[in-house]
Structure 1
Amino acid sequence: MDIFKLLARSTNLKTTASSSPQSTLPSSGARQNPQLFGNDDENLCRSRQKGKKRKRGRSTADDSGAIPEELDFFGNKSARIDRLEGTLSGPQDRPSNITLEREERERDSTIALGTEILDEEECRRILKSHKLKITLLSSPEKQKKGRKVDTTNTSTSNGKAHPQLFPQPLTSFDQLLSRYKIAGRLAQNIVNQGYNLPTEVQLGSLPLLLESNEAELVGFQDPLKRKDDIKRRGEKMQAGTDLLAVAPTGSGKTLSYLIPVLDGLLRERRIPDGSDHDMERDVKAIVIAPTKELAKQILNEARKLVVGTGIKVAGMRKGMVVSKGTEVDGNGNHDYGYDHDGEGDTGGETISPDDDELEDDGVRLRKKHPGQLVRAHVLISTPLTLLHAITNGVSGSTSPLPIVRYLVLDEADVLLDPLFRSQTLGIWGACNNPHLRVSLWSATMGSSVETLAQSTISTRRKSLGLLSARFIRLVVGLKDSAIPNISHRLTYAATEQGKLLAFRQLLHPTASSTDSAPPLRPPFLVFTQTIPRAIALHSELLYDIPAEAGGSSRIAVLHSDLSELQRDRIMTRFRKGEVWVLITTDLLARGIDFRGINGVVNYDVPNSGAAYIHRVGRTGRAGRDGGVAVTLYTKEDIPYIKNVANIIAASEKLSGKSKDAQGGLQRWLLDMLPTPTKNDKKRLKLHGVEERRASMAGRDSKSARKMRISTKSGFDRRMEHNRSGTVHRRRQVVRSRDDAVHGVNDEDYLSEGAGSEWSGFDD
């Protein structure tokens, strides 16, 4: 017996292993259950369900202590058969008992295969426990009179109600093969990647999209068999589905749209129309992402899923064209990354149209035009690169893409924002396939973006003379809210110097700190408003990490002014754990999956509430607990900080935290903060805090000195500047005196050094 446990039984002393903060950090390992909601409710309902479905004539003791037949090595099989045949209960109960056991066995085998059909009430309960809300925004069929429709919280601005849907939820990835008949190789690749339990967005979106793929091929593959199979599952034949999904960051949206796209392409290859689909490598699916980093991440995930399927996936590069009639002009050699600073990505692509490295990524190219022709089934690109690829350099017209059947907009709220709207709509308009299926995905989706997407889909189909498809909206949790499994902190620092001191305190926490909030441990991200501020903060903190811990190699800065090769190297070092603190702009705020990030620091207040949601979403990925989000703000940020405070309050309410929880948002702070006007929000979103931008424009102004990132006061900095200016002037005086003594003027001095090189010291 452990004497320490015996003595500590009546005390509150805990062992070191249980109280270690390492066990609750996102970097400590993968979480077994990646779901954010419904775990406790699901277990409770399952226990109740078992109690309700206990059969009459079977005792409670038998249910609690029953041993499976294959494990009951010492049991008497003949006695068990006699009991089933009615030796104990009489001959009248023989058929019913045997039938009950047979039905129970069949039901257990059906559940194991994942083909159990749930009724509407059970679907409603599961979707509600996981905080899933599926709304039908538009349908090709008119609503029948007298049909009961759930219109809870689905009313629109014009008073009309949208019906709420309750499809069969995907409770296990095994159901992809047993229920939806996806390709066996694709199902095996999903298992090989370690996906076992679907997240909320996968639980709700995959059934909708996979049913749409199956319904669209009814006219090509044995229609009677398909209809009978769907009727057997208790489902209805549905038309094509366009989906708008709003789900928290890190909830598995990439897998949610890649699986239906790949499944649809594999189903088309099985159509017996006489064509050799294995030899065709035309682009049939396009995925658009706002940044190069996010596009590369999606490309890597797609490559893992297409192993052995024959589907080719490629990333769009400069000098590549999609359609055969497109030529590349001078404008096609420019590309811009995404950055909230409003700065273009000056780090251009290093691959030319004639580069041999275009054979990478499994892409076959053909030199028939000035640009290289893409030979792949799935193409992943940023909007401007793809728009240049389908634009004719001579006429400036956009070439149509008639065979593209799937268009995916990842981070759709940014792609339909004014920054990318014209580019995205240009690509959308070029996809004139009548069977085009569009899906939009993001963690934040404004009502204006939703209205624009719905109107674009409706206008496009009317112009092509097509019937309108179903347009469905899927919302996980609260719309436009941060993930509930991380801790938020608002820290007032008063000035820029105080903000730098507060950040250094996060880097070097004191042992005597009484704050009960979870600590911030590396690795973590630091977000700034502009690129110059990111560079300045990196220079200020370059030597804050001791040399014994790695020194300056543990801190790095990443922004769009760096070349693509430099950005890739920094990202690789950060993913490997060689870099602990990565300072960046909003370039990495969206979509990038860092599963081991322990925290996020908003050194500068984000430009909008959506930017805050995406920034803090870099931690707590896939349901991991222990992430910390710290936001530092000064008195210049007070007019804009309430947006962030409201999001924090909603996140804490969703997670079920008490109002008096330490480290969270205090109620009095939320009441005292001023509410920003609509013009203030618009100005902040477009330009950020004006004082910080002015500090980079006017370097000698008082506001510039005030907002500079440095621990030195304005007086000390001014004295240092005067001192350096005095030394410089004295050196000029000494040099002019020496030149006067030797008879050398300024023109001779300049002409002498203009075309000469230093040859070293003379002997």
Structure 2
Amino acid sequence: MSVIDLLNESLQQKWKFKSTTKVQEEMIPAMLEGKDIVAESPTGSGKTLAYVLPMLHKLDGSKKRTQGLIVAPSQELAMQIVEVIREWSAGTNITVQQLIGGANMARQIEKLKKKPTIVVGTPGRLNDLARTRKLKLNEIEMIVLDECDQLLSRDYRVMVKSFIEGASPNRQVALVSATITDEIQLVASRMLKDPVRIKIKPEEMIKVGKVVHSFVKVEERDKTDALRKLANIEGIRGLAFINHLDQLLLKEMKLKYKNAKVVSLHAEMSKEQRKKSLEEFRNGEARILLATDLAARGLDIEGLTHVIHVDLPHTVEQYLHRSGRTGRAGADGEVLTLLSYKDEKNYRKLLRQVGQKPVQKVIYKGQLIEGNANTIAKKVRDPHDF
């Protein structure tokens, strides 16, 4: 029997996938039983439906009160979750409202008066609405923290704890993320009641594409030009990570000046600007999307061929979080690092910890090919050999 058979008829009829994923198999029954959960599962493994479907099964849209709360660290992830809920709740009496920063608060307050069954929001806006009692936390029966490693970091921890403590005494709480550190696990155990721990390894996912881990050696000052060249390569759809916002803005300005096919996503953009960037990237007008880690949290972009580490990640968790966005749903992908000489030692250490042997590549004549400087020298010397 499939875990989908545990859900109501409406949800069963909407299920069109051939099979469930490992995290869905483990998480759906536990949520239906009302247990608190800490679930660690790779990016692209079906975590959203693993908690959305039990919520839609358990919550009662005929009761005029807000019963479900989903917290996400970024506006984009919150909006994606809302779209999933709208799709799966269509034709039922369950309603959903997004409560994100950057949107009109007065309008959100008006919509809250209609008592949506589920609200999905970012921590700052949810905190503002809860403090002014516009969002009545004591009525909340189910809470999900998506990307919980981010939400339970020191930046948001106090806020998020107040959401959980302010909810109904009989609340159910589920935490999900691609990576959960020991620190986050400890914090979670203090906030939750005897939580079920679910951990899915990448090899347990179905339809995992082949992912190549590669690097191009480049001077720090030449990284912007390397991005320009990559943006000119036919067939590339790359999500490029930059560690600091000021560097992202500088690179974006230089690349746009040279008419490179790039767009960006960062915290200082308005909701409309962010939406426009994502649309241009999704429809192929731009080949590379420049982003910071926070801005790209939870982004689900189909057909992503490359994850590009413009700046080396600081931790293995950060490397895996970024890299998990390619090679999804059976498609192959590539994780490319623009490797400056000062970062070589740390890069080798990271890749050993990840368990990957990287391939060196070069950008040559509008192509990304396997090789190094000697490869190019040989091509120039003996062009007919290639």
Give the shorter-chain TM-score range: 0.7 to 0.9
- Whether 1:607 and 2:314 are equivalent positions in the alignment is yes
TM-score (norm 2): 0.84
After superposition, residues 218-237 of structure 1 pair within 5 angstroms as none
User: Would you say 1:496 and 2:220 are equivalent positions?
Assistant: yes
Counterparts of 1:590 and 1:559, CA distance in 2: 11
Against the structure 1 CA distance between its residues 399 and 531, is the aligned structure 2 distance closer, same or farther, given a 3 Å change threshold? closer
Letter in 1 for 2:125: T
Q: Is the CA contact 2:129–2:135 (under 8 Å) kept in the aligned structure 1? A: no
The count of corresponding residues between Structure 1 and Structure 2 is 358
Question: Structure 2: how far apart are the matches of 1:643 and 1:399?
Answer: 46
Tell me, yes or no, if the aligned pair for 2:209 and 2:333 is still in contact at 8 Å: no
- Three-state SS of the structure 2 residue aligned to 1:295 is helix
Contact 1:485 1:625 in 2 (8 A): yes
Paired residue for 1:420?
156
- Contact residue 71 and residue 122 of structure 2 kept, 8 A: yes
Query: Following the alignment from structure 2 to structure 1, what is the Cα–Cα distance between the partners of residues 135 and 263?
Result: 42
Q: How does 1:37-76 map to 2 (within 5 A)?
A: none
Partner of 2:371: none
The answer to whether residue 77 in structure 2 is matched with residue 294 in structure 1 is yes
The aligned counterpart of 2:200 is 476
Q: In structure 1, give the amino acid aligned to 2:338.
A: L
Amino acid at match of 1:176: I
Cα pair distance change 1:647/1:303, threshold 3 Å: farther
Partner amino acid, structure 2, of 1:477: K
CA distance in 2 between counterparts of 1:311 and 1:400 reads 18
Partner Cα separation in structure 1 for residue 284 and residue 123 of structure 2: 31
Aligned 8 A contact 1:603 1:632 in 2? yes
CA 1:414–1:642 in structure 2 vs 1: closer, same or farther (change >3 Å)?
A: farther
Deviations 1:656-707 (A, max 9, x none): xxx6x8559xxxxxxxxxxxxxxxxxxxxxxxxxxxxxxxxxxxxxxxxxxx
CA–CA distance in 2 between the matches of 1:662 and 1:639?
15
**Correspondence for 1:204 among 22, 26, 38:** 26
* Map 1:59-98 → 2, pairs under 5 A: none
**Match of 2:137?**
401
Matched, 1:452 2:181: no
Following the alignment from structure 1 to structure 2, what is the Cα–Cα distance between the partners of residues 450 and 629?
28
Match of 2:254 in 1: 540
- Does 1:581 pair with 2:311? no
Is contact 1:521-1:599 (8 Å) kept? no
Distance 1:632 1:262, change over 3 A: same
Amino acid corresponding to residue 43 of structure 2 in structure 1: T
**Per-residue deviation, 1:579:** 1.9
Q: Describe the SS at the equivalent of 2:294.
A: helix
The gaps in structure 2 that reach 5 residues or longer are: 362-386
What is the SS of the residue equivalent to 1:621? coil
More strand by share: 2
Work out whether 1:528 is the aligned partner of 2:246.
no
Give the Å deviation of 1:424. 0.8
Greater relative contact order (Cα 8 A, min sep 6): structure 1 or 2?
2
Query: Normalising by the residue count of structure 1, what TM-score does the alignment of the two structures yield?
Result: 0.44
Q: Show the 5 A alignment for 1:617-632.
A: 617-622=324-329, 624-632=330-338
How has the CA–CA distance of structure 1 residues 471 and 587 changed in structure 2, closer, same or farther, with 3 Å as cutoff?
A: closer
The sequence identity of aligned pairs, in percent, is: 28
- CA–CA separation in structure 1 for the residues paired with 2:214 and 2:348: 13
CA contact (8 A) 1:364 1:376 kept: no
The answer as to whether partners of 2:209 and 2:328 remain within 8 angstroms in 1 is no
Q: Distance in 2 between matches of 1:423 and 1:417?
A: 11
Letter in 2 for 1:598: T
The residue number in structure 2 matching 1:739 is none
Distance 2:135 2:221 in 1: 54
In structure 2, the residue matched to 1:373 is 113
CA distance in 2, matches of 1:556, 1:203: 37
> For 1:596, which of 291, 303, 314 is the aligned residue?
303
1:155-197 Cα shifts (integer Å, max 9, x gaps):
xxxxxxxxxxxxxxx4xxxx523xx2x2211222233xxx221
2:99 is equivalent to residue 316 of structure 1? yes
Report if the CA contact (8 A) 2:70-2:144 is conserved: yes
d(CA) in 1 for partners of 2:338, 2:9: 50
1:596 positional shift: 1.3
Query: How far apart, in 1, do the equivalents of 2:28 and 2:125 lie?
Result: 29
Asked if the contact 1:594–1:621 (Cα under 8 Å) also holds between the matched residues in 2, the reply is no
Matched residues in 1 for 2:202 and 2:304: separation?
24
Contact 2:209 2:331 in 1 (8 A): no
Q: Is the Cα–Cα contact under 8 Å of residues 265 and 296 in structure 2 kept in the other structure?
A: no
3-state SS of paired residue (1:541):
helix
Amino acid across the alignment from 2:64? R
Cα drift, residue 566 of structure 1: 0.9
Specify the code of the residue in structure 1 equivalent to 2:169.
Answer: P
TM superposition shift of 1:478: 6.2
- Distance in 1 (CA, whole Å) between partners of 2:128 and 2:110 is 20
Q: Which residue of 2 aligns with 1:124?
A: none
